[in-house]
Structure 1
Amino acid sequence: MSFDSSNPLYLHPSDHPGMILVSKFFGGTRFGAWKRAMMIALSAKNKLGFINNTLTMPNNEQQMVVWQHFNDMVISRIFITLTRDISDSVLYAETAQILWNELNSRYGQANGANFYQL
């Protein structure tokens, strides 16, 4: 099975699980900046669909194996930018979308008390 580079299921020869896509590491603060940087990086790699539910798991077994490979690649790229405590807390997320949603629900909420103080 071959894919052209515009297909989300295309892996460039220089891509690998340890590749750091963003220079911003997330340790529990400045989630918005980290999230934006990660979304830009995933979009540039044409992998945004794995976190925004536009590229869902296929029903075909052969395609599912390929999809899982890329899903795991996206998960590894997110994990490599998280501190150990945070990555340990979301280690068992089965898909990149579940991982992304979990991080959003934990850290994406604005703190109303802090805004009120300003």
Structure 2
Amino acid sequence: MGDERSKKEKGASQSDPLGLHHSDHLGLVLVSKPLEGNNYGQWNHAMRIALSAKNKIGFINGTIKKPEDNDDTFQTWERCNHMVLSWILNSVDSNIAGSIIYIESANDVCNDLKGRFSQGNDSRIFEIRQEITELRQGHQSASIYYTKMKPLWDELYSYHDPITCTCDGFKGLVEREEKE
């Protein structure tokens, strides 16, 4: 019975967004390529995956709200928020880090970065389409060529809002896009 309770307590702490794992530390780098400005879409996606895996996505999407200063959970929230801020600072170029170092919440930092770097989506979409057009298989194997092409298509797709339509015309559009 005691073993069952300790397992449940362990599971509960791992699922608590205000909990920290013993491997979490301020110097942790969550993404392999830092934000340099022109790679915001890829960086943002990778960072969201990493923070979701650590059960901290709520700190950047605003679902984990800052409690009042006199709330019992304030210090725990602040500690986790600072941890997430540290992870973000570790995953951006030093010039970008200098421009966000004084922002107090992870959510505000992410909103600031989105406001600055997601504005260039149209130009990035153009660049991706140009790269796709210019990419040639040449003497490369089909798998190497596909490996270079797939991330371009995936990134391009990530810039488009999903279309919600259930009509037959939409099915044809999906099939056409798959063929492309």
- TM-score normalized by the length of structure 1: 0.90
Q: Distance in 1 between matches of 2:34 and 2:76?
A: 28
Structure 2 match to 1:23: 32
Structure 2 match to 1:72: 82
Query: Which structure exhibits the higher relative contact order, with contacts defined as CA atoms closer than 8 Å and separated by 6 or more residues?
Result: 1
1:24 aligned counterpart, secondary structure: coil
Q: Distance in 2 between matches of 1:46 and 1:113?
A: 33
Distance 1:62 1:34, change over 3 A: same
Structure 1 consecutive aligned stretches of length 4 or more whose deviation exceeds 3 Å = 111-118
CA-atom RMSD in angstroms: 1.9
Structure 1 residue 113 displacement after superposition? 5.1
Structure 1 residue 110 displacement after superposition? 2.8
Structure possessing the higher radius of gyration over alpha carbons? 2
Name the % identity. 42
Structure 1 residue 74 displacement after superposition? 0.3
Pairing 1:40-55 to 2, within 5 Å after superposition: 40-55=49-64
Task: Kindly tell me the number of residue pairs found equivalent between the two proteins.
Answer: 117
Q: Which structure 1 residue ranges, 5 or more long, are not aligned?
A: none
Q: Distance in 1 between matches of 2:126 and 2:28?
A: 40
Q: Look up the equivalent residue of 1:5 and give its one-letter code.
A: Q
Question: Deviation string for 1:64-106 (max 9, x for gaps)?
Answer: 1110000000000000011111000111111000000000000
Distance 1:114 1:101, change over 3 A: closer
More helix by share: 2
Q: Determine whether 1:11 maps to 2:20.
A: yes
Distance 1:12 1:114, change over 3 A: closer
